[in-house]
Chains A and B, each alone.
Chain A
Amino acid sequence: MAFVSTDNYIVSDELALAVNAAVTLEKPLLIKGEPGTGKTRLAEELAASLGTELIQWHVKSTTKAQHGLYEYDAVSRLRDSQLGSDKVHDINNYIRPGKLWQAFTAAKRPVLLIDEIDKADIEFPNDLLHELDRMAFYVHETGEQISAVDRPIVIITSNNEKELPDAFLRRCFFHYIRFPDAETLRAIVAVHYPQIQQQLLSTALEVFFELRELPGIKKKPSTSELLDWLKLLLAEDIPADVLTDKQQKGGLMPMFGALLKNEQDVALVEKLAFLAKRQGR
């Protein structure tokens, strides 16, 4: 089977190749790219297209590698022993499988998403090296060895907040999602809003790319922001010519809140529009 664009998700050839290689060779695939370029969506769509389960492990700053394997709830067991519960005699009642365990023992080869791995502590990727390599780990409390029946398809995303260790990188395939060009973006928009007018779309894309090119902008709007913005434009039924009308609201595009997420950026766009207006006179 090969992973290709679907009715609601557009994938570039490069990315499709990367995913297919990772699936075939059973290697984790590390995905980087600007926020909002569909890194997390990729795992969802891949699971949907394979008709399998998606196991999501969202990493936070406090996440430890052990959380992904299992947790032994000793406190519950202690309390149960005081209350005289029968459960207390079997330690397995208190071992809680983590996301990796779930992925290893799933009935059908699942997709495991390790989302935003860079959020965790700097040692986190190193602690997972062996588990991802062998797809197996040892439960000390029960002496059990958990190994993957089918090696799960592992998708790892990173936002570049921390650098990942070399040893970890060597075990992964790496793909950087480039920001889509106007044509791909058009296809992506068509998938989400098939009824959008061509003229509105062209103008909106023009405004959007102009905004991305703006020197000194702090947070570049990305695909997901464009889609949100278009949704608002459609909901408010805003005609295309209003988009280019610079006189409006001090030079800001309508519904700018969906595109600009930073008050400094809003100020920057206003200032540039003001300067442009003054030069025009």
Chain B
Amino acid sequence: MLIDFFFTLRKYGLKTSITELLDLLNALKQQVIFADTDAFYQLARLCLVKDETQYDKFDRAFAEYFQGVAQVDLAATIPPEWLIPDVLRKLTEEDKAKLQALGGLDKLLETLRERLAEQQKRHSGGNKWVGTGGTSPFGAYGYNPEGVRIGQQGSGARRAVKVWDKREFKDLDTDTELNNRSIKLALKQLRKFARSGAETELDLHGTIQATSEQAGWLDLRFMRERHNAIKLLVFFDVGGSMDDHIEQCQKLFAAVKTEFKHLEFFYFHNCVYEGVWRDNKRRYTEQINVDDIIHTYGADYKLIFVGDATMGPYEIEYPGGSVEHYNELPGKVWLQRLLAQYPKAVWLNPQPLPWWQHYYSIGIIEQLMAKRMYGLTLDGLSAAIKVLL
């Protein structure tokens, strides 16, 4: 009985188990409800669904199974995936590999000026003119490893060397409680206990020692409870090429927030420069000097960067290479300063491992980090934690 219904639910991606089906059948046998579809709907949901975010899937499955029998509100059943526009133009890895960078940054800008002068009409596609789509280094929504982006909302293939349109990025949401249980369990390995706080725990060795000293007259000794003494500085890359990995990063962020007491987090864009910020809404007004961070937080802090390290090589290696402002010192100087102060450091990269070799900048960062770059996966996280401890 209800076997088909059970399989319909599983078809819609509900992780319903046999135990739960048996519960439902038992409830029906006990006559908790009587021949009433609405009540059956509620009872089935009560027994089979264990998370309010799954209610929607259940409603859809229920509607399919009881076509014409149940009156289920279908208005709110559009899956969120449908609402995410697939605006990115996907090129194959082969295509990407074929595309070679054209000259240096100065040459690019110069060429752009020339082409702008040369070109009179609106243009789309092709591989030379400034416009949309296409593989020319200039324009928007196209793809070239060192392209220059002009007036584009959101990043298409995200490799522009200069962004002209300033974009506001969303803060990573601390409240999001996605499926981060596994991440939390992985983070549990990152523990170094130290005793702090009030003396509430019985100190067994101390007590034995003190009692012996008093010739067997009991002398209780207490000590402080053990707490996780790990201190973390986390730097998150936001915006631009990180748009693809936002969900993964949110999971990590939410997990990290609840697991560690001594935690400071900062945002940066692409590469760390002299200023980072804590609040994306005030990123231009409330920048924090990296030097101040180095002076504020002791060397016992551990350093975690989260970023895809996917950018133009200039952004790391040259003064003025930043896509957002003029930086007097190249990004790598700031990275090296941070690494000098905090020897325990890792870089977590949400970019899938096989793609790393296709981005020159990932290689540079990996070298700066002395090979301590790991994928933002459970395995990567575990490996990174071993290095941090």
Contacts and interface: CB of A to CB of B under 8 A. Distances in A.
Interface in B48-90: 49-52, 55
A122 B184 contact: yes
Interface of B: 15, 17, 19-20, 23, 26-27, 30, 32-33, 39, 42-43, 46-47, 49-52, 55, 177, 179-181, 184-185, 188, 202, 217-218, 220, 258
Contacts of B23: 25, 27, 173
Given A17-B42, A17-B46, A25-B23, A166 B177 contact: no
Contact of A174 (B27, B50, B177, B185): B50
A79 B218 contact: yes
Contacts of A176: 52, 55
Given A122-B181, A161-B177, A166-B15, A20 B50 contact: no
Which residue, of A20, A30, A163, A175, has the highest number of chain B Cβ atoms within 10 A?
A163
Contact of B46 (A18, A163, A171): A18
Interface string A36-80: 000000000000000000000000000000000000000100110
A247 interface: no
Contacts of A95: none
Nearest to B17: A170
A122 B177 contact: no
Contact of A170 (B20, B52, B55, B184): B20
A14 B42 contact: yes
A160 interface: yes
Given A27-B23, A122-B188, A170-B19, A21 B32 contact: yes
A141 B42 CA distance: 45
A175 B177 contact: no
A155 interface: no
A273 interface: no
A175 to B, nearest CB: 6
Given A18-B46, A75-B220, A160-B177, A25 B32 contact: yes
13 contacts: A17-B43, A18-B46, A20-B32, A21-B27, A21-B32, A25-B30, A32-B52, A75-B202, A122-B185, A163-B177, A163-B179, A165-B181, A170-B20
A173 B44 CA distance: 10
B49 to A, nearest CB: 6
A232 interface: no
Given A122-B181, A122-B184, A163-B180, A21 B43 contact: yes
